[in-house]
């Protein structure tokens, strides 16, 4: 009966697919390709109602095989993709986009641009939400390529400009590239998403043409719009823009403060701390201490010498001035039950001493103040330092010994 026939056909189709998968997962591309030729038959009797039908599978598997097969060429690949584009209307844009990615990764920028333009002009009935997104991405990538050609022409122009020679046609072309790029890039960055690449390029364009307000607005939107994910890069871009614009310390600090709230372990926190330490305001210096303590909470900055030296410097300052010891005390309170094991164990003292002397110096200073001179870390490092007759370690020992009452005040 036809039902049975369908069932058998389905079974053999599945078996064939299993063979293909098996071969691919063992990197036997040639074998997989042979099986795929059999699998192509499943297109003729496509009874399936699964969302990934045989045609999509052939596209996916075929692409993968052609990417890895030893005898495949770019031409064959493009030929295959062209066939795949005609196989399913719903998938047309996705196949185009993936093809463009493949071309871009292989350095065929011009072909990719052509393919993008072609895909952009494609129309078929009403677009689904996904197709709409794919179309937007296609436009955005075209905008990106336009930006690259703009920047290429800009470089040419700048070089020639230095020579005192200006080409009007190059300049015109550059402006038309700018218009095309700006239009497409502007569209995509309105939609919530991660658009680091597109935002950077768009801001670069705007800055070149002196539209700083628009650039600032775009970056603000990208960083602070709540519909967008909390992308640390958005804040970094904003901070860098503000810095480039020579904006006031206050605005820089407020930008970094928000970054600190999102990602306390970010590498910019060291800059932030230095900036705050220099501040005249007590509140800011207090924030600085908080920032550097928080940064050192994370496993990733455990061996960050810069961060440790920032902390050591600020702690030393406070100890010497004997003002605001309560700041240290407050910060230390929430950490004293786990920092000793996390940062100042004997094992780490040994390892830090072996691997990085300056790290162990900074850490020993902090340990000596926070945990007193009997702390394992400090004892080990200062002992080793004195043994190795390094001057600064002797100074360190003296300093900690002199300020040992501080420890009592902090821990008490």
| List 74, 83, 192, 405, residue binding other proteins (CB under 8 A) | 192
Does 208 participate in binding other proteins (rule CB under 8 A)? no
Question: Which 37-66 residues touch other proteins, going by CB under 8 A?
Answer: 38, 50-52, 56-57, 59-64
Rounded to 10 degrees, the C-alpha dihedral 6/12/13/14 comes to 110
Tell me the C-alpha distance between 166 and 156, whole Å: 10
Does 24 participate in binding other proteins (rule CB under 8 A)? yes
Does 35 participate in binding other proteins (rule CB under 8 A)? yes
Tell me the C-alpha distance between 408 and 412, whole Å: 6
Q: How far is the CB of 45 from other proteins (least distance, A)?
A: 18
Q: How far is the CB of 399 from other proteins (least distance, A)?
A: 27
Question: Which 335-374 residues touch other proteins, going by CB under 8 A?
Answer: 338, 341-342, 345, 347-348
Does 67 participate in binding other proteins (rule CB under 8 A)? yes
Does 92 participate in binding other proteins (rule CB under 8 A)? no
Does 198 participate in binding other proteins (rule CB under 8 A)? yes
Does 91 participate in binding other proteins (rule CB under 8 A)? no
Tell me the C-alpha distance between 80 and 76, whole Å: 6
Nearer to other proteins, 63 or 309 (CB): 63
Tell me the C-alpha distance between 366 and 381, whole Å: 12
Please report the DSSP string for 124-187 in residue order: -SSPPHHHHHHHHHHHHHHHHHHHHHHHHHHHHHHHHHHTT---HHHHHHHHHHHHHHHHHHHH
Rg of the chain over Cα atoms, rounded to whole angstroms, equals 31
For other proteins (CB under 8 A), the number of binding residues is 79
Nearer to other proteins, 198 or 380 (CB): 198
Question: Which 226-285 residues touch other proteins, going by CB under 8 A?
Answer: 227-233, 236, 262-263, 265-267
Nearer to other proteins, 192 or 405 (CB): 192
Instruction: Quote the strand ranges of 212-259, DSSP E.
Output: none
Tell me the C-alpha distance between 157 and 286, whole Å: 49
Does 308 participate in binding other proteins (rule CB under 8 A)? no
Does 224 participate in binding other proteins (rule CB under 8 A)? no
């Amino acid at each position: 009966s036809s039902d049975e026939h369908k069932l058998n056909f389905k079974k053999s189709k599945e078996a064939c697919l299993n063979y293909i998968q098996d071969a691919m997962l063992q990197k036997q591309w040639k074998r997989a390709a042979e099986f795929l030729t059999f699998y192509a038959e499943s297109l003729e009797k496509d009874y399936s109602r699964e969302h990934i039908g045989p045609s999509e599978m052939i596209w996916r598997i075929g692409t993968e095989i052609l990417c890895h097969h030893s005898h495949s060429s770019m031409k064959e690949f493009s030929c295959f993709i062209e066939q795949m584009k005609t196989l399913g209307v719903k998938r047309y844009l996705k196949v185009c986009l993936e093809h463009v990615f493949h071309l871009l990764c292989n350095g065929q920028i011009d072909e990719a641009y052509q393919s993008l333009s072609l895909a952009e002009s494609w129309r078929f009935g009403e677009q689904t939400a996904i197709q709409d997104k794919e179309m937007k991405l296609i436009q955005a990538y075209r905008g990106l390529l336009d930006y690259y050609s703009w920047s290429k022409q800009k470089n040419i122009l700048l070089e020639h400009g230095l020579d005192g020679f200006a080409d009007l046609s190059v300049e015109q072309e550059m402006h038309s590239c700018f218009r095309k790029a700006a239009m497409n890039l502007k569209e995509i960055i309105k939609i919530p998403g991660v658009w680091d690449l597109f935002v950077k390029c768009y801001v670069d364009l705007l800055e070149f043409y002196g539209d700083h307000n628009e650039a600032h607005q775009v970056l603000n939107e990208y960083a602070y719009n709540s519909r967008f994910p909390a992308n640390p890069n958005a804040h970094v871009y904003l901070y860098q823009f503000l810095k480039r614009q020579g904006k006031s310390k206050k605005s820089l600090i407020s930008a970094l403060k928000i970054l600190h709230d999102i990602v306390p372990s970010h590498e910019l926190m060291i800059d932030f701390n230095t900036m705050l330490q220099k501040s005249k305001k007590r509140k800011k210096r207090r924030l600085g201490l908080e920032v550097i303590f928080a940064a050192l909470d994370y496993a990733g900055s455990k061996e960050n010498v810069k961060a440790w030296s920032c902390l050591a410097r600020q702690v030393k300052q406070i100890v010497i001035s004997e003002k605001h010891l309560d700041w240290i005390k407050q910060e230390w309170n929430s950490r004293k039950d786990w920092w000793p094991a996390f940062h100042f164990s004997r094992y780490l003292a040994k390892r830090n001493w072996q691997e990085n002397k300056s790290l162990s110096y900074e850490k020993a200073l902090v340990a000596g103040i926070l945990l007193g001179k009997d702390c394992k870390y400090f004892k080990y490092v200062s002992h080793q330092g004195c043994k190795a007759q390094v001057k600064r370690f002797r100074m360190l020992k003296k300093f900690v010994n002199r300020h040992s009452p501080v420890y009592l005040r902090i821990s008490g």
